[in-house]
Structure formats: C-alpha cells, structure tokens
Structure 1
Amino acid sequence: MASAIPSSMSRLRLGLTCLSIALNALCAGGVLTFPLMSPALAERMKFTQPQLTSIVLAGMVGQYPAAPLIGKLVDYYGPWLCSLIASVLFASTFGLSAWIYASTPQDIDHPNSLSFNVLAVCFGLAGLAQASSLFSSLFAATKNFPSHIGIVSAASMVMYGLSPIFLSFFANIFTDPNSGLDLTNYLTFLALVGGTVNLFGACVLTVPGGHAVLETTDGELEASIDETTSLLSGPRKHDEEVNVIAVKEPDEPSLADLLRDPYFWVLFVFMSLTIGCAEMVQSNIGSITLSLFPVSSAVSGISTEAAIATQVRLFAIANTLSRLLSGTLADILSPVARYLPSGIYCFTKKQRFSRVLFLTSSAAILVFSFAWTVVAVRTQRALWVLSIGAGLVNGSIFIIVPGILSSLWGIQNLGRNFGVLILSPLLGTPAFSLLYSYIAESHTDGGICKGIHCWQLTFWINVGCGIVALVLSWLMWSRWRDRV
C-alpha cells in the first residue's frame, strides 16, 4: 500500500507535466498571430508598412539571440525556469501593448514614434517569451521520455505549430463584423493566457534526476538483429555471429569545436536562407494578402480580416502537418543511430535514405512556391500556394534538424547546439523581411502597397536563395549521408 502511493503520485506528476508540455507549446504563438493585428495597428496608430514589419520582425527575431542561453538554462536548471521566464514576459509585454493601443487617440494623423518604439521592444521580448515557452515544452518532453525522443519532440512541435490556429479562433471572439478586431481585449487575453499557462509550467515541469539513458529493449534488439541479418547466409546460431551496421559515434564537441566545424556553418547558412524566407512570408502575409485586394475592397473589415485569417491558418496547418509527417517519415525511413546494450553505436533499423534529403525537399518546395507566386498568383484566393509552401518548409526543417544534431554532435548538449543553430534565422528573417518592406514601401506613397510589384522582386530574390539552399543541401548530403 505504501509503495502504491508514491507510484500514484509519480503518475499524477507525469500527467501534469504532459499537460503543461502541451499547453506551453499550444499557447506560445501569440506573436505569430500578428497579421491579424496589423490592420488595427495601421488604422488606429497609422503605422506604415516598414513600421509594421519592424514590430513583427522584432517579435520573430526576438526568439533567437537568447536561444543558446535558454538551452543552457534547460540543460542545467530544468525547463521550469524557462517557463517562469516566459510567464513574466508574456504577461508584461502583451499587457503593456494592450495599454499602449487603448491609450492611443482614434483621430491621430501620424504615428507616434514613442508608441512604435515601445511596441517594437514589447514584441521583441514577447518573441523571447515564445522561445522560452517552446524550449520548456520541447526539452521537458525529450528529457522525460528520452527513449522516444522523435515522437515526443514531434508532438511538442506539432502543438507549437497549432498555436496560431488555436489563438486565431480566440481572436474571432474579439472580432466585431463592423469594427474588426478588438485589439485591446485580444492583447489582454494573450497576456493572461501566456502568463497563467507558463506559471503553471513553472510549478510542474520537472525532469528525472541524473543523466538520461537511452534504453534498448530485448524486442528492439531482436528486431534490429532481424533487420541486419537478412543478408547473411544460413541460420543464426549465436548473437555474437550477428553483424550490425556500426556508424561513427557522435562527437560531443565543445562549443568552440562545434563552431570550428565548417559543415555546421553550411547547415547554419542553409537554415538562414530557408527559414528566413519562410518567416518573411509568415510575418508579412497580412500585407501580401492586402496587396492583392482591389482598393475598393480594402476598406471592408470583414473581407480583409477573413482573408488574412485564412492565410494565417493555412500557414499554420501546413506547418503543423509537415512537422507531424516529416517526423513520422524520418523515423520510419531515416532512423537515427543509437547505442546497443553491448556499447555498439549503430542503426537498429534499415536506413532507406538520409535525413538530409528532407532538407533538400524543403528547399525545392521553397523555390517552387515563390516562383509559382510570381508567375501565376494575381488574386488573394490564389495565395494558398505561398502560405502552404512556406508553412511546409518551416515545419519540416525545424522537426528534422534535432535528429541531425543528435546524430552528429550528440544528445548531451542538444539544447545548447540547437540554441546556437537557431540563431541562423536571426540573419535571414530580418534581411528578407526588411527587403520586402522597403521594396513594398518604394511602390506606395503611404499606407498599404497594392499590386504584385509590391513583392515581385523580393520573391525572385527568394527563388535564387532557394537554389543556393539546394546546393548547400547537396554538400551536406555528400558529407553526412552515411551518418544521418
């Protein structure tokens, strides 16, 4: 009876941990719903396109600078601390943003520079909160279930991918058919939900003591033996006669050694180009959609916000499905190597092709999506190709990269290595977003740019960058195809 009580408490604690993992990921994407906010900010606060882009860019880029530090905090102190940081930041940044918007008079003629600067800082810190919330969810999952790292990391990332869809449905509650989104109440909602959910995570997100050990069950070992002995002649008599496909063990490099690896930088540049282009679409899909509206329709709050919400959801759905499908297919077709009880580091299942080819397919989708948009898209309804394509690229790359990192450079410092690598969009996202905003601004005398010339040149440049990413993926495949 006494032993049953600790067992019940352990199950309860694990259940609360799983609930918090899901909630932290599902409620993390408030910044990603900015396209729903931009019409209200443009109408009431009179922000220009570069100002709107700068605010959302601050939120997108704010995720990345502190990522290595967040990864270290998770590795050393546990995910609860990152959840606490996210709670404080979400509550304060979205709460202050709501107050600034509500206190702005409705009859101003030009934007207030102080309000713009404060909102940019708030969204930058909200981006940091988003990263902290995601890291607390992702690494609480992987450290609590180390033997199922692929499944649980995919589940956490899928929840994160669903976040904009989840929050956009709540935005509908605060939307009036005539006046549009009540941004004050929506921002207040984001502050309360983000703060409360992550405070709950700070109380319950724990990891088992000691170092995580990947275990291989007898059934898995037998399965791996069957996989690797199919080419051997004659019956199997003893386990010691069985051959396995041994691969090079992960290097577990120091940070300095990691940064000296030239192929780490090839992966870094690849992610900067691909994620940068995809996040440029994500952060500016509102103005891209408006550019294809007839001027007479742009004043309709219903059609404008419905069109933008549709594109936001298409991106999020594609992002989510790509995380789920890419993670599942990668585990089936490109399993990562692992240690057997004998100490041999090998593939326990047949590897049909390298995980790097998932990166290659993402770059190819990126090239097609931008080229198709430039050549064929002339109406708002046809934008689904761009939204879905960018969502597929963003989701697939983020779910494939952790497996590549753990295979090449080990799992012990996975949080640190992943944190360093996702600094890459810190270069690509602002570069492509600012390029888009200034080209669009050059084709208008004020307000929202109209017509395909707002983004045509930017998207052709993105096509070229996608081709460069294809070349980089071939270099990585040539180097790593036997290991990942």
Structure 2
Amino acid sequence: MPPSLRKLRLGFTCLSIVLNALCAGGVLTFPLMSPALATRMKFTQPQLTSIVLAGIVGQYPAAPLIGKLVDYYGPWLCSLIASVLFTSTFSLSAWTYALTPQGLDHPSSLSFGILVTCFCLAGLAQACSFFSLLFAATKNFPSLIGIASGTSMVMFGLSPLFLSFFATNIFTDSQSGLDLAHYLTFLALVGGTVNLFGACVLTVPDSHVVLETIDEASQASIDETTSLLSGPRKCDGEVHVIAVREPDEVSLADLIKDPYFWILFVFMSLTVGCTEMVQSNIGTITLSLPPVSSAVSEVLPEVTIATQVRLFAIANTVSRLLSGTFADILSPVARYLPSGMYCFTKKQRLSRVLFLSFSAVVLTFSFAWTEVAVRTQRAIWVLSIGAGLVNGSVFNIVPGILSSIWGIQNLGRNFGVLVLSPLLGTPLFSLLYSYVAASHTDSGICEGVHCWRLTFWVNAGCAIIALALSLLLWSRWKDRV
C-alpha cells in the first residue's frame, strides 16, 4: 500500500478511535435519566438500580469472548456489533418510555423487563466498542503501546462528561426537564453511526509491518540497556540497575491457587464495587438531599445531577493521567534485560502497591465525609470526586502490578480474570443501597440522609478492609513492584 494511502487510513482509524471513545458511555449517563424514569414510569429505587446495574454488569461476562473476536477478526467486527446493539437497545428504550402514559399509579413489569434487557445489551455494546478502540490503538502503535492504551482509556473515561453536555444543553427544557425519549434516540443514532463508521475504517497493520516496528523498538531498547550495563549510571550514589525476582509465569490453574491473587481480587471487588455503586446511583443520592437555599432550588435536578456526573468523569480522567505518571516515575516496573537480568532500571522510590493503599484511604475519607458533613446537594461533590479518583487510579495501577508479579506474557488473561471482580462487588453494594433507600420510602425517590447512611457506613468499613488488604500485599510484594 502506498505510504500516502496508509497514512490516510491511519488518520481515519485515529478519528474513529476518538469518536468511539467519546460516544460509548451512554449507559454511564443513567443518573440523568433516573428522575424521568421515576416520575413518569413510577420505577422504585430497587428497579432503577436494577436497570443501571444491568448496564454496568453487562460489560464484564463477555469480555474474554470479545477479546478473542478482536484478536481473530480485528476490531472492525466488534465495532459493527456495538453499532447494531446501540441502535436497537436505545431505540427500544426510547420507544418504551414514549409509549408510557402519564399518570401511572404503578410501574409496568413489562416496561421494567424491557429496560433491564436493553441496558444489559447496551453494556455489552459498550464493552465491544471499548475493546475495538483499545486494540485498534495499541496494534497501530505497538512501539507506543502505553501511550496508546492510556490515551484511549482517558478519552473513554470522558464519554459521560461529553454526552452529559448534550443531555443538559440540548435535550433539557427549563420547564419539563430532560426529554428522555429524544435523548435516548440521540444515543441510538450517535452510538450506531459512530460504531458503523468504525466498522468501516478500524483496521490494524499487517503482521509483518507490526513485527518490523517492534523489532526497531526492541533494537533501540537493547542499545539503550547495553549502554547502561557497560557503564552503569548512578543516581544519588546508587546504581540504577537493581536485580529483582523474575515474575512467575504461571498457568491459569496456578494463578487461581495463589492466595495473594485472591486478596487482590477482593480488594478490586471492594473498591471498584463501591465506586461503581456511587457512579450508577449518584442521581438519586443527589436528589435525596435538599438544595442549599431557595435560590438554588430553582435549578433543575437534571442540571445538578449532570454536574456530579461530570465531576466523577473528570476525576476519573485526571486520576488515570496522574496515577500512571507518578507510578512510572516513583514505582518503575522491572524489565528483562538482554544480559538475562530482571531488574529495575530506575531507582524505585515507592512501591506501586502503595498507590492502591492511597486509593483505599481516599475512598474511606470520601464515605466518612459524606456521612458526617453532607447535608445539601452542594456538598456531594466530595463523594463524586473521591469515587472518580479511586476508580481511575485502581484500574490504572493494577496492570503494572500484574505484569511484575505474574509476568507480561499472560497479562491479558490475568487482567481478564481480575476484571471480573466488579461482578461481585458492584451488584452487592448497589443492591444494598437500593434496598436501604427503599426501606425509607413507599414510592418514588427516597429523601433524607437516612436513605444512604447505613450504606455508606458499610462502604467506609469495606474501604478500611481494602486498605488492610493492600498493606498485606505491600508487605509481600514491596521488593518486586
């Protein structure tokens, strides 16, 4: 292929990656939809939680299969699947909402079942879109794989922020609030069109081109490390190269038998489960609190909720950028040198595991602060930002830990198993929140701090347990990562 045509194709691929990332998070804007669903369709808090939980949990079970499809057929197929699912699920959701008559006394079980199914499949579509853009980025830029994957995840994290602007500025009326039917139709059209474009242009280079690129990068690395070994540089009087134990390249069966893997799994279940519970229910958490004054009460609830959604998205994005940068500077991942030595080529100033400990501390503080100090909608920002920071940081730090302890050869497999942990934590914490809230109201959205007081005390206790687990991992792995 001529170089000019190859660059054009790469340009379209990059454009598709950006568009897919920004438009994939429609499910994550559910907090903006929940007031309309509660008002018109009379859904209870457990029903609202079940709908959004279906959307979040729907991403995880098929992740290994989606990854295999991307590896075997390429990212275009998953983008095509995402296009079909986004179009059909959000269109059916809009149709179901539009046909619901005003003035219902009780929620329709049929409508509830349709929305649960639609959001579960929309979560699957989100996973397909994410895998297609992530692997298209990493396989087109193999010598910059860290930057490519990190940038893709950051843009994906901005998706709720991007879509919420459309929801509040285009589809929200000052009198009637969010026009949910038209907003869902918008998500169907945008998600379907963007991913259909991805199905046409998302390609990866031929294998021989990738190998040539990797060989060039590897040769540059060899030259650098050879120079380093022939004349060790010093930093603060200490040699950069510090030999460490080589990662354990274990089978899946051996990984499952490792008790420390399950400690990390439980840590992920507790921390990510808590943050995803906050993310999916921040709308009703906000509405449970009174405005700060009569002047603020004129602000539409959708606008207040949109602010919290944006704060979570911004904090999530910032934490992915900063945690990765600081981890690479303070906690370098060990490398395998041509001499046969597995070592740190930079001075390790802080164990990477302590970043997990810091995340647990932030989460504990966020829940404790909410319990003690949050009594109006204005103060809820601490919870949104704290949960966003922890969610982004944990997901960003874990891959480096996995590669250092169990090797990079099976990193995808190991991360795929570990990422199933939210399937345990997220439903448990979300259902706890929904049933505690439901126990304090007969219908509609619960109001008052009693709606979530017990839930957040339990969450704070679980965050403290997660902190203890991270310190246990640090005592075991502090010399390796």
Q: TM-score, normalised by structure 2?
A: 0.91
What does 1:1-400 align with in structure 2 at a 5 Å threshold? 6-172=2-168, 173-210=170-207, 213=214, 215=218, 217=220, 220-221=224-225, 224=228, 228-230=232-234, 244-293=241-290, 302-342=299-339, 344-400=341-397
* Residues 1:401 and 2:405 aligned together: no
Instruction: Give the superposition deviation at 1:142.
Output: 2.6
Could you tell me which amino acid in structure 1 is paired with residue 30 of structure 2? Answer: F
SS at match of 1:64: coil
Superposed CA offset, 1:103-124 (max 9, x none): 1112322111000011001101
Counterparts in 2 of 1:224 and 1:56: CA distance versus 1, 3 Å: farther
Identity %: 78
RMSD: 2.7
Contact 2:39 2:444 in 1 (8 A): no
Instruction: Give the superposition deviation at 1:231.
Output: 6.9
Contact 2:177 2:302 in 1 (8 A): yes
Could you tell me which amino acid in structure 1 is paired with residue 458 of structure 2? Answer: I
- Per the alignment, residue 237 of structure 1 pairs with none
Partners in 1 of 2:76 and 2:410 — Cα distance?
A: 18
Instruction: Give the superposition deviation at 1:35.
Output: 0.5
Counterparts in 2 of 1:176 and 1:222: CA distance versus 1, 3 Å: farther
Contact 1:150 1:327 in 2 (8 A): no
Instruction: Give the superposition deviation at 1:481.
Output: 2.2
SS at match of 1:215: helix
Superposed CA offset, 1:84-111 (max 9, x none): 2222211111111111111111232211
Q: Any unmatched runs of 5+ in structure 2?
A: none
What does 1:443-462 align with in structure 2 at a 5 Å threshold? 443-462=440-459
Worse overlay, 338-347 or 162-171 = 338-347
Aligned residues: 473
- Per the alignment, residue 465 of structure 1 pairs with 462
- Per the alignment, residue 475 of structure 1 pairs with 472
Instruction: Give the superposition deviation at 1:297.
Output: 7.8
SS at match of 1:24: helix
Contact 1:71 1:419 in 2 (8 A): no
Worse overlay, 210-219 or 305-314 = 210-219
Partners in 1 of 2:231 and 2:39 — Cα distance?
A: 63
Partners in 1 of 2:232 and 2:307 — Cα distance?
A: 48
Counterparts in 2 of 1:88 and 1:415: CA distance versus 1, 3 Å: farther
Instruction: Give the superposition deviation at 1:205.
Output: 2.5
Superposed CA offset, 1:162-182 (max 9, x none): 100100011121111111111
Partners in 2 of 1:458 and 1:386 — Cα distance?
A: 13
Could you tell me which amino acid in structure 2 is paired with residue 348 of structure 1? Answer: T
Partners in 2 of 1:375 and 1:50 — Cα distance?
A: 25
Contact 2:157 2:317 in 1 (8 A): yes
Counterparts in 2 of 1:16 and 1:451: CA distance versus 1, 3 Å: same
Q: TM-score, normalised by structure 1?
A: 0.91
Partners in 2 of 1:105 and 1:227 — Cα distance?
A: 78
Superposed CA offset, 1:8-65 (max 9, x none): 2222222222222222221111011001001111111111111111101111111111
Worse overlay, 449-458 or 98-107 = 98-107
Partners in 2 of 1:28 and 1:157 — Cα distance?
A: 11
SS at match of 1:378: coil
Counterparts in 2 of 1:233 and 1:446: CA distance versus 1, 3 Å: closer
Worse overlay, 10-19 or 405-414 = 405-414
After TM superposition, the runs of 4+ consecutive aligned structure 1 residues lying more than 6 A away are 231-234, 294-301
Could you tell me which amino acid in structure 2 is paired with residue 380 of structure 1? Answer: Q
Superposed CA offset, 1:166-211 (max 9, x none): 0001112111111111111111111111112222222332334447
Instruction: Give the superposition deviation at 1:150.
Output: 2.6
- Per the alignment, residue 238 of structure 1 pairs with none
Instruction: Give the superposition deviation at 1:379.
Output: 0.8
Instruction: Give the superposition deviation at 1:300.
Output: 6.8
Counterparts in 2 of 1:296 and 1:138: CA distance versus 1, 3 Å: same
Could you tell me which amino acid in structure 1 is paired with residue 446 of structure 2? Answer: C
Contact 1:216 1:340 in 2 (8 A): no
Worse overlay, 212-221 or 253-262 = 212-221
Contact 1:86 1:133 in 2 (8 A): yes
Contact 1:150 1:403 in 2 (8 A): no
Counterparts in 2 of 1:148 and 1:251: CA distance versus 1, 3 Å: farther
SS at match of 2:193: helix
Partners in 1 of 2:373 and 2:33 — Cα distance?
A: 28
